[in-house]
Amino acid sequence: MSPSPHPAFARRMNGLRSSAIRDLLTITARPEIVSLAGGLPDPELIPRERIREASEAVLARPDAVQYTETAGWFGLREVIAARESAAGSRSVDPREVVVTHGSQQALSLLAQVLLDPGATVVVEEPAYTGALQVLRLAEARILTVPLDADGMRTDHLEELLAAGERPTLVHTVSNFHNPGSATMSVARRRHLAALAEAYGFWVIEDDPYGEIWFDGAPPAPVADHSDRVIRLSSASKILAPALRVGWLRGPRAVCDAVELVKQGADLCGGALTQQIAATMLADGPWLAGHLARIRAAYGARAGALASAVTGAFGDAVSATEIGGGMFCWLEFRDGTDTGLLLPAALDHGVAFVPGSAFAVGGDHRGTARLCFTTNDESTLSDAVGRLAAAHRGR
């Protein structure tokens, strides 16, 4: 028998599909398209000059161009531990931090450490697509609980637990949810932590947006309430995606296990970018001013987007309140299928992400995610006008 002309792939590849958002970005690269689809920081707000200064200072150190520890350059881990300690009421040891190539790698490594094939995982719906890709690759059994204005419906999670479900982990985007924009309330943070303690599952608290708040900082982390919470975050949204600096904070045993798996993935991170990130994150006065500029700019854009949606659609669309982050979640009340609306929107020169991209088992055909960070207020108003024109002509 002759061999197959194509290689056989592992079983785990069978259920994988490309991210609809990544595929959409190919289309939105066209100059005539105003994109509300991505989840990117504005390049004009990325502190390139400060990165240049930090790079020059760091390059004076011979170890900046050498390999670094698998768990990350210890100086950066110290900075992250100090910032994590300041964000809550618990003191964080640098050895409870692992630096990764963005927080997505942290999520991927944790899936390898914590999940066997078939393990049950609970996520919010609508769900963060990056988490779904990781969990499907891990061959997890994915269950969902709904999301509302106060974040994950932990009462629904408790109902699942009472019915006999025993998840290995629960994933939540606790602050300024992607895509739902919601922030988990204090009561639900405490409830989620109490359920983790009672039933013995891990919580992954994914928090890349928590420092991009407009009217006030979000509540203390879920990790403040339980040792069964592993926090993920990133410098991508507040410094620069190109640094590829993310991290996880968790119990020493988890960090040690992640480090072992990471040795097989990449051996170590980049000392140069990690030292640059440490220099910038440790510069408190500069960072405070930088964050204030980001919050002011994005807050104004979020307000412009919300006003434009209300003016263009009225009661036909409900939009989430935007307290921070990068996204606004829309629900069309008139039966609009946003997957069918998208081609018409592209014809009118505007792109968005249909809600079906974030679906696990629910029906999100009448929803959409809009990103407001990469366009100014007038462009956002124009983009919503184009979307409304496409909606009228559908």
pLDDT in tens, 148-170: 999 999 999 999 999 999 999 99
Which residue, 66, 28, 299, 340, is CA-closest to 176? 299
Of 1-5, 138-142, 192-196, 278-282, the poorest mean pLDDT is in 1-5
Residue with tokens 């049950």: 120
Q: Give the C-alpha separation, 16 to 169, whole Å.
A: 21
Q: Residue 393's pLDDT is what?
A: 87
The pairing of strands 229-234 and 246-249 is antiparallel
Judged against a pLDDT cut of 70, whether residue 28 lies above it is answered with no
**Residue 344: pLDDT above 80?**
yes
Structure tokens at 86: 């300041």
Whole-number Å distance between alpha carbons of 27 and 23: 7
CA distances from 182 to 125, 197, 307 (A): 12, 24, 18
Q: Give tens-digit pLDDT for 207-259.
A: 999 999 999 999 999 999 999 999 999 999 999 999 999 999 999 999 999 99
Mean pLDDT of 254-278: 96
The predicted-structure confidence for 305-343, as pLDDT tens digits, reads as follows 999 999 999 999 999 999 999 999 999 999 999 999 999
| Residue 9 DSSP symbol | P
Query: Does the structure show a pLDDT above 60 at 1?
Result: no
Q: What is the mean pLDDT of the chain?
A: 94
What pLDDT score was predicted for residue 5?
56
Q: Is the pLDDT of residue 14 over 80?
A: no
* Tokens linked to 169: 């982990």
* Distance (Å, whole) CA 194 – CA 390: 47
Length of the chain: 394
Residue 98 has pLDDT above 80, yes or no: yes
My answer on whether omega of the bond before 343 falls inside 30° of 0, hence cis, is: no
Report the relative pairing of strands 327-332 and 229-234 from DSSP bridges: unpaired
Q: What does 66-81 look like in DSSP terms, one character per residue? A: SB--TT--HHHHHHHH
Model confidence band, residue 70 (pLDDT cutoffs 50, 70, 90): very high
| Cα–Cα distance list, 13 to 10, 24, 199, 273 (Å) | 6, 22, 31, 32
Residue found by looking up tokens 């507040």 in the block = 238
pTM of the model: 0.94
What is the distance between the alpha carbons of residues 135 and 329, in angstroms, rounded to a whole number? 23
